[in-house]
Amino acid sequence: MAAIKQVLAPSHATGRLLLGVVGIAVAVAVISMVGEFRATQLASMAYLGVAAAGLTLLTGLNGQLSLGHGALMAIGAYTAALLLPDADAGTPLPVVLLAAVAVTVLVGAVVGVAAARLHGPYLAGATLALAVAVPGLAIYFGDTLGGEQGLSVSVPDVPVWLADAIFFLTGTDPSRGRYVSYVAWVVLVIVLVVLANLARSRTGRRWRAVRDDEIAAQLVGIDLGRNRVLAFVVSAACAGLGGALMALAVRLTAPSGFTLTLSLTLVAAIVLGGLGTLTGAVIGAALLTFLPQVVTQFGGGIGLDDVQSAQLAPFVYGLVMVLVVLLAPAGLVGSLLRWRMRRAGRRTSAVLDGPPPSVPSGSDSSDSSDSEPSDDSPTSTQPTPRGAHS
Amino acid sequence: MQQLLTTTLSGLTLGFVYAAFALALVMIWRSTRIVNFAQAPMAMITAYVALVLIDAGYSYWIGFAAALLAGFLLGSLVEWLVIRRVDASNPINPVILTLGLFIVFHSLAALIFGSRFRSFPAPFGLRGFEVGDTTVALTGFGIFTILAVLVAVGGLVLLFRFTDVGLRMRASAFNPEVSRLLGVRVGRMLNLGWALAALVGSLSGLLIAGGGLVHPSYMDPVVVYGFVAAVLGGLDSPAGAVLGGLLLGLSLSFVSGYLGSELVAMAALVVLMAVLLVRPGGIFGGIAERRV
């Protein structure tokens, strides 16, 4: 029983897969129940979530802060728009999404190679320049990319089998907006499961090592550059995927949609939720989607006009961003986790108060054979006998 | 020939503005090791202060002075309220902080002053001088721009080189611990540094705005160009920032004149990457080793 519980917990790969399946089921159920407007909102939450999840992995896990993810989203979005120019294009959605990922991965690899050599404010400045530069390209190559007007995106028809399945489950035919929302949420859940597995894998540990201590990471044989580039590429792929979903949801790709504000919005999302946690990225995306409506209503209530009320939301999350950095640098979720860990730590340290903590010794082999087997004993004891035999 | 001259002159004028902005970034970087990405919206807010006064019927110069004063106060306030309270041991924190301020100032300006485009007056003519029967692209406002930046840079040189306050400010930036032991009030000096940098930032904001349109994000590209100019000069050197600004202004002007104005930001990115990958210390910097 305990073993089953352990396997199904989110800390185990099977558990995460199960959580993903449940997540998709819940998302599909919720989207088919809410109204058309809410379904659109949920779609925009999903594409922000996909991009933010990628960014939080890069920033929180690998320590690289990118302000250029809006530009990478633009690349994914324009790829999708070029593949879906009109109703008879007929490119299947999975192909569109994979193509967006492929193109963004290529761009991300180039940017990542450059970014891997930069630190802190230098990296921030360089990616900021990227965010400002890319929309200009869409105007310069106006013949293919539509210039200021942008490209319209025609969402393909809902596949017959899916329409049938949804009709069977809910008794209604899905609209195109709702179809995009389903697709976006399925993609979001898949991305979250993949990234969660990645974060817990050997690769994720390497990225954390690179973030925490470059010299120590190099000493244990981790290639800093390669891991930074890999993290950037994975993160860029998520941004491209988010951008393609955005193009589908908004049905228009124009330079004005990919201003510096979008990139800063993504940073705000991951900071609000908590750097480095996927939950935080989803919470941040939810806040960015639903907070503006609440705040705008509040603004109307205190006598501001519509244009002014629309500015209240960025004001609030900018302010929260400043406060989070000053008061809780780990973000909202991160601070909560840390508080829980500290509490748990206090409890375990109270239990272990009697005997002094055993010190794993590398020099004295007799001591290490005496010590109790602990979680990390294989790594600490194995080298000693091997060294003695050779 | 005509276009070459025009491009060079307008590039030189813009270069002086970028130089001022880069100088503001460098001053803050030297003293607090923070790149103030919020410099652009701070300058934008002070330009609005000037615009409100000018629209209310005051002369351009009263608006100009009020904007500079507002910049000085805003810089001091920002340093005192937020910057000195941030935990800078993780270099990501200050970056996120200034980005948060960026968003806050942006939306605040749109809330208070509205987000439509408003035209900003210029105190001098915007038409080029006529030499013989051709018009040279050097305008009265262009000359004012160059002079204003030169005066600001000269004033800063005098302040840092020849006054007691300047010496104390340099000492605080160079070694805060020792300076504190020697009786320098380091916190106050850093605050003054932020205030002066914000003043120089507002000057560049006013010079960009003059004769053009103002809206809440009109300074956003300038923060990128200012940063690139500062990195060109090594991010640590005020003289390098000025030279970097001039060089960048000229090169971006050539890109804009001969290739297309949409590519200016891309060109700035290319210049930045080239400098960072080839000479991370900046093309004028003589610093041997530094992490980028």
DSSP labels, A94-105: HHHHHHHHHHHH
Domain extent at residue B82: 2-219
| Chain A: residue whose CA lies nearest to B280 | A118
Q: Is A322–B114 a contact, with Cβ atoms under 8 angstroms apart?
A: no
Beta carbons within 8 Å of A98's beta carbon, 6+ residues apart: none
> How high is the pLDDT of residue B124?
79
CA-based nearest distance B171→chain A, Å: 23
> How high is the pLDDT of residue A348?
60
| Chain A: residue whose CA lies nearest to B95 | A121
Contact B69, B129 (CB under 8 A): no
Contact B68, B203 (CB under 8 A): yes
DSSP labels for B212-226? SEE-TTTTHHHHHHH
- CA A186 vs. chain centroid, Å, equals 14
CA atoms within 13 A on the CB side of A377: 11
Strands B118-119 and A252-253: what pairing? unpaired
- Does any domain span residue A374? no
C-alpha gyration radius of chain B: 19
| Closest in B100, B231, B265 to A125, CB measured | B231
- Does any domain span residue B277? no
- Does any domain span residue A332? yes
d(CA A254, CA A148): 6
Q: How many Cβ pairs within 8 Å bridge chains A and B?
A: 149
d(CA B124, CA B139): 8
Beta carbons within 8 Å of B290's beta carbon, 6+ residues apart: B280, B281
d(CA B234, CA B229): 9
CA-based nearest distance B273→chain A, Å: 7
d(CA A77, CA A87): 17
User: Which residue numbers in chain A have pLDDT < 50?
Assistant: 351-390
Shortest CA distance to B253 belongs to which of B3, B59, B38?
Answer: B3
Could you identify the residue written with the tokens 């006998």? A385
Q: Is B104–A119 a contact, with Cβ atoms under 8 angstroms apart?
A: no
- Does any domain span residue B90? yes
- Does any domain span residue B229? no
Looking at this protein, which amino acid is placed at residue B148? A
3-state secondary structure of A152: strand
Q: Which of A67, A326, A335 to mutate to test the interface with B (most CBs of B within 10 A)?
A: A326
Mean pLDDT by 10 residues, chain B (292 residues): 82 92 91 90 95 92 94 95 85 89 92 88 76 72 90 91 90 88 90 94 93 89 91 85 92 89 88 82 55 47
Neighbours of B85 (CB within 10 A): 13
- Does any domain span residue A345? no
pTM of the model: 0.84
CA-based nearest distance B1→chain A, Å: 25
Which residues of chain A have a CB within 8 Å of the CB of B93? 325, 329
Q: Is B103–A321 a contact, with Cβ atoms under 8 angstroms apart?
A: yes
CA-based nearest distance B26→chain A, Å: 12
Q: Which of A69, A132, A271 to mutate to test the interface with B (most CBs of B within 10 A)?
A: A132
- Does any domain span residue B46? yes
Q: Domain tally for chain A?
A: 1
Neighbours of B30 (CB within 10 A): 18
Q: Domain tally for chain B?
A: 1
| Closest in A65, A125, A140 to B227, CB measured | A125
- Does any domain span residue B270? no
> How high is the pLDDT of residue B288?
44
Domain extent at residue A191: 2-340
Q: Is A120–B37 a contact, with Cβ atoms under 8 angstroms apart?
A: no
> How high is the pLDDT of residue B84?
87
> How high is the pLDDT of residue A237?
95
Q: Is B217–A128 a contact, with Cβ atoms under 8 angstroms apart?
A: no
- Does any domain span residue A357? no
DSSP H/E element including B130: strand B128-131
Contact B226, B22 (CB under 8 A): yes
Segment B96-106, tens digit of pLDDT: 899 999 999 99
DSSP-H helix ranges across B114-174? 140-162, 164-174
Contact B15, B82 (CB under 8 A): no
β-strand partners of B114: none
Which residues of chain A have a CB within 8 Å of the CB of B102? 264, 318
Segment B52-63, tens digit of pLDDT: 999 999 999 999
Contact A130, A122 (CB under 8 A): no
Q: Taking the alpha carbons of B142, B232, B3, B209 in that order, is the dihedral positive or negative?
A: negative
> How high is the pLDDT of residue A240?
95
DSSP-H helix ranges across chain A? 2-8, 13-33, 36-56, 69-83, 93-115, 120-140, 142-145, 160-170, 176-200, 202-212, 214-219, 224-250, 260-273, 278-301, 306-327, 331-351, 365-370, 377-381, 383-389
The tokens of B72 are what? 């000085």
Instruction: List the CATH number of the domain containing A50.
Output: 1.10.3470
- Does any domain span residue B265? no
Q: Is A132–B221 a contact, with Cβ atoms under 8 angstroms apart?
A: yes
Q: Is B35–A308 a contact, with Cβ atoms under 8 angstroms apart?
A: no
| Closest in A121, A311, A319 to B35, CB measured | A121
d(CA B38, CA B101): 6
> How high is the pLDDT of residue B285?
54
CA-based nearest distance A156→chain B, Å: 32
d(CA A160, CA B288): 65
Q: How far apart are the first and last CA of chain B?
A: 40
- Does any domain span residue B288? no
Which residues of chain A have a CB within 8 Å of the CB of B92? 59, 63, 65, 120, 275
Q: Taking the alpha carbons of B252, B254, B259, B260 in that order, is the dihedral positive or negative?
A: positive
Beta carbons within 8 Å of A63's beta carbon, 6+ residues apart: A210, A211, A212, B92
Residue B284 to residues A266, A353, B21, B243: CA-CA distances in angstroms?
35, 59, 18, 8
Residue A69 to residues A100, A146, A355: CA-CA distances in angstroms?
14, 21, 51
The tokens of A60 are what? 């929180």
| Chain B: residue whose CA lies nearest to A135 | B262
Shortest CA distance to A159 belongs to which of A171, A151, A147, A167?
Answer: A167
Contact A61, A231 (CB under 8 A): yes
Contact A73, A247 (CB under 8 A): no
d(CA B265, CA B270): 9
- Does any domain span residue A223? yes
- Does any domain span residue B245? no
- Does any domain span residue A355? no
Average pLDDT value over all residues in chain B? 87
d(CA B257, CA B264): 10
CA-based nearest distance A162→chain B, Å: 42
CA-based nearest distance A47→chain B, Å: 21
Q: Is A67–B220 a contact, with Cβ atoms under 8 angstroms apart?
A: no
Could you identify the residue written with the tokens 């690289």? A64
Which residues of chain A have a CB within 8 Å of the CB of B280? 117
- Does any domain span residue A359? no
| Chain A: residue whose CA lies nearest to B266 | A133
> How high is the pLDDT of residue B141?
86
- Does any domain span residue A327? yes
Check residue A174 and report its DSSP letter. Answer: P
Neighbours of A87 (CB within 10 A): 10
Q: Is B86–A267 a contact, with Cβ atoms under 8 angstroms apart?
A: no
Which residues of chain A have a CB within 8 Å of the CB of B265? 129, 132-133, 136
CA-based nearest distance A274→chain B, Å: 12
